[in-house]
Amino acid sequence: MTTRRTVLADAVRRLAEAGVASPEHDAAELLAHVLGTDRSRLVLLDDVPAPALEQYVALLDRRAAREPLQHLTGVAHFRHVELLVGPGVFVPRPETELLAGWAIEQAVSAGSATGRAPVVVDLCTGSGAVAKAIADEVPHATVYAVELDESAHGWAARNLAGTGVDLRHGDMASAFDDLAGTVDVISCNPPYIPLDAWESVAPEARDHDPHLALFSGDDGLDAIRVLEARAALLLRPGGVVGAEHADRQGASAPGVFAATGRWTEVRDHRDLAGRPRFLTARLAR
C-alpha cells in the first residue's frame, strides 16, 4: 500500500503541471471517488490499496489530459441537487448557480403575488441543472425545460426523471407556443462564446462540451437575440427573464434587451468574483 498523503501530493503536482485550475480539489475528488467515500472523509484513511491506486492513476492520466473532472466521476453537484453528466452534455458551472438562485427567488415571488403555482421555463436546459434546482427548491412551481441537442436531451431526461419537469426536445426559438403569454419566469444559459474566441476556451470545455452549447455567432450574442424574442412571446406582462453571458458581455448582452424597447428593469449581475455574469429584464406591461 501507499500512503494517502504521498498519493495526493504526487497527484496534485501532476495536475498542476498539466495546467488544471484546481489541482488540490480535483486530486482529492478523484481519490475519494475510487475509494467510495467523499473528500471530507479522506483524512480518516491512511493508505491507498494497490487496486484503488491503479484505478486512480488511470483517472489522473485522463484528468491531466484535461478531460472534465465530472466526466470522470459521472456526477456534478449543483446547488442542492446531483446531476448525471458525461460526454455529450455541458457540465454545469458553479457560476450558473447564481442564475438558478435568481430564478428560484423570482418563482417564489411570482407565486406569492398571484396566489397560484408559478410557471417557469428553462431554455437551453442542457443537463437540466437549472430546471432541476428550481423544481427542487420551489416544489409548487410548474416547470418546463427544452433542449435541442439530442445527446444533451438524453442526459436531461435522466436528470429530470421523477421531478415533474415537463422536458421537451426542440429549439428554444420555437418552443412552448402553447405557453405564450402565461410564463412568470424564464431562465436560460445559452451558448455565448464568439466563434473567434476558440483558443481562449479552456480545454475541458472546448474539447469535451458540445459546441452547440458553447459558440453563438461572430459576437457571441446570436442566442441572446433569439432568447429576447422568444421571452417576449412567452412571458406574461411583467414576467421576468434571466440569462447567463460571458464576462466581456456585461454591456452588450443587456443591450440586446434594452434596444428593443420591450423591457424594463434591464440589469446586469456580477458573480462572486466580481465579473459580469448574467442579465435580467422584465417584460413591460
Whether residue 189 is annotated as binding a ligand: the answer is yes
Q: Specify the pairing of strand 235-244 against strand 276-283.
A: antiparallel
Whether residue 191 is annotated as binding a ligand: the answer is yes
Whether residue 147 is annotated as binding a ligand: the answer is yes
- Residues lower than pLDDT 70 in the chain: 1, 192-219
pLDDT at residue number 33 = 92
Q: What is the pTM of this model?
A: 0.85
pLDDT at residue number 47 = 87
Whether residue 203 is annotated as binding a ligand: the answer is no
